[in-house]
Structure 1
């Protein structure tokens, strides 16, 4: 099968529906629920209060090439955008947009190979990929070409039957599993032999579940058959009546368990093959999605010795890691970065599912320049903590996860905690797990605690989660903690770990009940 070419003209007319609905919403002729049912399908939602909008740019594999980077920079400047967020689904969200801006940017994006269609709503979502695929030293193979082909194919399904809820597809190139491919709606995990294992019906949030291993050793050229089978399985067995149970992970229970689900998926797979539709992919295994063009890019200079500079598998070339606090870069970042890299051959940005950006394919000299240009980001692993956009913006949010993270970073800086004393934490403003709180060493999800009939801002603490393939584990719920007490809890934890002379990971292994004992006085 030839991959579907992205053609903006195939989608432009559909945005008239979005513009009409947005106009009615801002005129108060359409209520928030009805508007959400339309706008979500175009990657946009009204923010809390209904006076502004957000727009999610669909970026397959989290790739931001120079054209896309310039487009984002120009939009920030032209529409005076004051808030941008890197999401845990490898997308860019533009916030605080007025009616004119949200409608204009959504259409203008088409001219720069960016589609917002299906960025929200009951559609296949942005395809996620290990951010350093193609350049990572220890990867089994470059999964990026297959992920991009999958993204193109999924776009053809957006105009088909509507799914019960969103369908998230992910690819991983190592056991690190940072895209959570083993617990997505559909995940492809690379194997050392150049094939994929396939997982299905997983997900975080309410009723979290790890995926079912539905196939092993799948040839990369066959992945589209499995995507079609997943789509058909979801359409056939997904819950269209109860939105709370309309995610693929609920199908395991409704079908009678993992084995029954595996059989149901297998039947749909057989039907896809029997249909006669040719979904074979012919992508040369030796041809990565990105490679140095002969004579165009040569190693130059020695890269600075810094933990944010990562050697690529291409000798003499580097990726530079940049993690803005909370995944929120200052809005001038995009223009500064474009001006810096526009003449750097084959340099591009890759977004990661932990709200990190990697600037890849740098020579040693270029890496030094990029390192300096991104020095205002996270200073250590704790500051690389993950937080969703939070309740000040999100309609579904209960707590302001961004504000909590900022308070915690300020506390840690005042205490002067060394790198590794506190772990990276994950904060979600509600149980939905947009901040992936369930797989963090420490995680928090927002809620309310009623004390003497007074509702108080609070978070539930999760401990000892893990997303590494074959070691996946959901964090244990330790209880509810008032928001105002969380800085004191982490301060005491940091002081205890620092006094031990160990890093948090080692201290936690040596003191398996240590976190629980320190947290106990803070738990209600």
Structure 2
């Protein structure tokens, strides 16, 4: 870590320990504790007896050293499960209160700072997971995400934000990180520059981002981040938490008004740090990336691997979970357990698999999966064979938040629903693509990104003659792809118990036409609507 944040953060653990003791003594309410503990990347789980810890890692880079720490901690602290998130972080679940501070301290010392992992702080910085390795990308954005992550941690103890701030980088039009509709997104272009989008986001009143700058030099990203911080602090809503995210600034100021406010802050920051104004000022904050850190060192840390091996001629290398990297002879292997839930045994197995493999690491995806990257052909086959419990179809890669059985604010049990749907759909043997990837969130917060799925579900309650029953509102037609972004509107509620059969019937309808879902829904949108109406009752 370039900056010595660890020294500044470690003393905070004394207060965290004391607050946790007070919470378990009943001296702090759930809401009071949540407001404090979120700033440490930790929340009490539903029921208040167990805890989770969210580890931030910029760009989702789960290095061998980090995975070793997690694998060893699973045994040492009897961790119940691990959850890969849509923000490219890992959550450690089912922790005892007495374990929490020690585990947190050790994680920080291992390079995984949880500070600011929740609460009103800059969150984990995201990046296209295969950046630097993907053949079709514009350029490698991973070093810039790492630099941004380092820089943003400097605000955790110095700036009071109205709410959380999510920053991300995209290197490819697939837009996996949702860079065109985050609080602040840097979108790579073919001329090795970024377009900058701001004030977007999912959740309550979702919004696409506003383009505030085009063709900026990657070396200037910290100026643009600083401008967003100052705009948020100046115009963000500190009075009403329901309207405190950055997208509500754009609503209050108007698109042009927000853009002008942001660009004014940007102009002031450039003036303060460049030219005569900089010479006359006393600002000692470094915003040039070359001044802030050794960028070449960070490029080296995620360097393209030069080892080469002649690919083994095997049908295995044509498997849909293996992706040739831009580096000749190297491969990435995709792995996704259902719902992004890793068991301790799976995490330990992954570590021992990659431990002897030179320069191999893991990249977490924004869709709750992971890639094992920089594998030779032989290594890729080993990883593929050892991860047969991975999702086998597009539908089985579906996204689900941790859900109401664990989350304090959850309404619907997202994981239970996804598992029930996968179990039912597997009985039909549909080809991959007959059903799309679905996105399930337990509440309106959209942690399962239900608003950008071809099909999304959001937890709720439906009134029936027998009384209120668990249900999920359906969302259809969402799309995150750059230039084709669509945020889906909420549809009707379907009872949770009926959704597996709804999806099964949908799959049969698609299969009967000899199509895949994407083609079918474009040709027969009325059939989808009729099916929804029938199940929504």
Equivalent residue, structure 2, for 1:231: 229
Separation in structure 1 between the aligned mates of residue 286 and residue 233 of structure 2, nearest angstrom: 21
- Alignment map for 1:39-58 (pairs within 5 Å): 39-58=37-56
Distance 1:286-1:103 versus aligned 2 partners, 3 A rule? closer
Alignment partner of 1:207: what SS? coil
Pairing partner for 1:464 from 450, 472, 477: 477
Equivalent residue, structure 1, for 2:289: 281
Distance 1:138-1:489 versus aligned 2 partners, 3 A rule? same
Deviation per CA, 1:133-192, whole angstroms, max 9, x where unpaired?
A: 010000000001111100000011111121000000010001100100000000000000
Distance 1:293-1:179 versus aligned 2 partners, 3 A rule? closer
Pairing partner for 1:403 from 416, 422, 427: 416
Deviation per CA, 1:427-463, whole angstroms, max 9, x where unpaired?
A: 0001110000000000000001122371111110000
Distance 1:292-1:130 versus aligned 2 partners, 3 A rule? closer
Equivalent residue, structure 1, for 2:126: 128
Tell me if the contact between 1:401 and 1:428 (Cα under 8 Å) persists in the aligned partners: yes
Equivalent residue, structure 2, for 1:248: 246
Report the RMSD for the aligned CA atoms in angstroms: 1.6
Equivalent residue, structure 1, for 2:512: 499
Equivalent residue, structure 2, for 1:290: 302
Structure 1 unmatched ranges of 5 or more: none
Deviation per CA, 1:63-103, whole angstroms, max 9, x where unpaired?
A: 11111001000111111111210000001001111112221
Tell me if the contact between 1:125 and 1:168 (Cα under 8 Å) persists in the aligned partners: yes
Separation in structure 2 between the aligned mates of residue 466 and residue 6 of structure 1, nearest angstrom: 40
1:477 aligns with 2:482: no
Tell me if the contact between 2:132 and 2:304 (Cα under 8 Å) persists in the aligned partners: no
Distance 1:220-1:28 versus aligned 2 partners, 3 A rule? same
Deviation at 1:6? 4.8
Equivalent residue, structure 2, for 1:212: 210
- Alignment map for 1:396-475 (pairs within 5 Å): 396-452=409-465, 454-475=467-488
Deviation at 1:304? 2.5
Alignment partner of 1:81: what SS? coil
Higher mean alpha-carbon deviation, 270-279 vs 19-28, is at 270-279
Separation in structure 1 between the aligned mates of residue 15 and residue 389 of structure 2, nearest angstrom: 41
Alignment partner of 2:154: what SS? helix
1:327 aligns with 2:340: yes
Alignment partner of 2:147: what SS? helix
- Alignment map for 1:86-101 (pairs within 5 Å): 86-101=84-99
Deviation per CA, 1:452-475, whole angstroms, max 9, x where unpaired?
A: 371111110000100001100012
Tell me if the contact between 1:144 and 1:289 (Cα under 8 Å) persists in the aligned partners: no
Equivalent residue, structure 1, for 2:280: none
Distance 1:195-1:292 versus aligned 2 partners, 3 A rule? closer
Tell me if the contact between 2:176 and 2:480 (Cα under 8 Å) persists in the aligned partners: yes
1:260 aligns with 2:257: yes
Separation in structure 1 between the aligned mates of residue 189 and residue 266 of structure 2, nearest angstrom: 21
Separation in structure 2 between the aligned mates of residue 65 and residue 180 of structure 1, nearest angstrom: 24
Deviation per CA, 1:486-505, whole angstroms, max 9, x where unpaired?
A: 11211110011111111111
Separation in structure 1 between the aligned mates of residue 385 and residue 4 of structure 2, nearest angstrom: 35
- Alignment map for 1:53-68 (pairs within 5 Å): 53-68=51-66
Separation in structure 2 between the aligned mates of residue 260 and residue 435 of structure 1, nearest angstrom: 31
- Alignment map for 1:9-28 (pairs within 5 Å): 9-28=7-26
Alignment partner of 2:317: what SS? coil
Alignment partner of 1:467: what SS? coil
Distance 1:33-1:147 versus aligned 2 partners, 3 A rule? same
Pairing partner for 1:360 from 373, 397, 400: 373
Tell me if the contact between 1:134 and 1:288 (Cα under 8 Å) persists in the aligned partners: no
Alignment partner of 1:415: what SS? coil
Deviation at 1:292? 4.9
Structure 2 unmatched ranges of 5 or more: 274-284
TM-score of the two chains, using structure 1 as the length reference: 0.97
Deviation per CA, 1:165-223, whole angstroms, max 9, x where unpaired?
A: 00000100011001000000000000000000000000000010001100000100000
Higher mean alpha-carbon deviation, 26-35 vs 50-59, is at 26-35
Deviation per CA, 1:221-278, whole angstroms, max 9, x where unpaired?
A: 00000000000000001000111111000001211x1000000000111121122254
1:486 aligns with 2:499: yes
Pairing partner for 1:36 from 15, 34, 37: 34
Separation in structure 2 between the aligned mates of residue 17 and residue 218 of structure 1, nearest angstrom: 42
Deviation per CA, 1:302-342, whole angstroms, max 9, x where unpaired?
A: 26220000000001000000011000022211211111111
Separation in structure 2 between the aligned mates of residue 218 and residue 65 of structure 1, nearest angstrom: 30
Separation in structure 2 between the aligned mates of residue 511 and residue 258 of structure 1, nearest angstrom: 35
Tell me if the contact between 1:70 and 1:334 (Cα under 8 Å) persists in the aligned partners: no
Separation in structure 2 between the aligned mates of residue 229 and residue 314 of structure 1, nearest angstrom: 36
Aligned length: 519
Alignment partner of 1:8: what SS? helix
Distance 1:104-1:61 versus aligned 2 partners, 3 A rule? same
Distance 1:453-1:234 versus aligned 2 partners, 3 A rule? farther
- Structure 1 runs of 4+ aligned residues shifted over 4 Å read 284-289
Deviation per CA, 1:479-524, whole angstroms, max 9, x where unpaired?
A: 1111111112111100111111111111112213231122111124
TM-score of the two chains, using structure 2 as the length reference: 0.94
Alignment partner of 2:195: what SS? strand
1:269 aligns with 2:266: yes
Separation in structure 2 between the aligned mates of residue 461 and residue 106 of structure 1, nearest angstrom: 38
Separation in structure 2 between the aligned mates of residue 398 and residue 450 of structure 1, nearest angstrom: 14
